[in-house]
Amino acid sequence: MSINKYQSHILVLPEDDANRQIANGFILHPNLNGRAIQVLPSAGGWGKVLNDLKDVHAPEMQKYLYRMMVLLIDFDNQQEERLSYVKNQIPQDLTDRVFVLGVVSEPENLRKIIQRTFENIGEALSQDCSDDMNELWGHDLLKHNQPEVERMILSVKPFLFEKNRHRF
């Protein structure tokens, strides 16, 4: 299924293949509206994520007002500095529609600690969102995402998870 550019939707731009696999696991949730989300190919680094945002996606977001984006990056144990830097690179008129998420270190560390595949990690994160839970999102390597997740819930959850298929 493809997204409808003229209705609320979200694009996920992963830094690398591990983040792409997590995003692909996320979209497997049965209550997720598959026509409202698309995982893009991995950019090849967090700096390239920013370049793609600036060069490709920001102009498109200004054209398609219902488009939102998740930048899925590794924070490489520099979450405060990296988040601040990335947020400062987002065009000011798009800050309400761009969200920055990722593992404190890198996804491989999370996978090793919780002993799940990247896809299973994505599925568990999606389940947390659908069920209004904070089990995996509350993990030490992910809990720094809480402000962005809370911001996303207000903007994204109403169209991303179908209410008629699951309780809220």
Query: Is residue 4, in this structure, part of any structural domain at all?
Result: no
pLDDT tens digits along 12-57 = 999 999 999 999 999 999 999 999 999 999 999 999 999 999 999 9
How many structural domains comprise the chain? 1
As given in the structure block, the two tokens for residue 49 are 């994520």
Query: Is residue 2, in this structure, part of any structural domain at all?
Result: no
Query: Is residue 115, in this structure, part of any structural domain at all?
Result: yes
Query: Is residue 111, in this structure, part of any structural domain at all?
Result: yes
Q: Look up the CATH number of the domain holding residue 112.
A: 3.40.50
pLDDT at position 129 over 60: yes
Give the predicted TM-score (pTM) of the model: 0.93
Structural domain containing residue 137: 9-165
Summarize the chain as % helix, strand, coil (round to 5).
50, 10, 35
Query: Is residue 49, in this structure, part of any structural domain at all?
Result: yes
> How many CB atoms within 10 Å of residue 59?
11
Q: What is the DSSP letter of 155?
A: H
Helix (H, G, I), strand (E, B) or coil at 89: helix
> How many CB atoms within 10 Å of residue 152?
18
As given in the structure block, the two tokens for residue 112 are 């090793």
Query: Is residue 1, in this structure, part of any structural domain at all?
Result: no
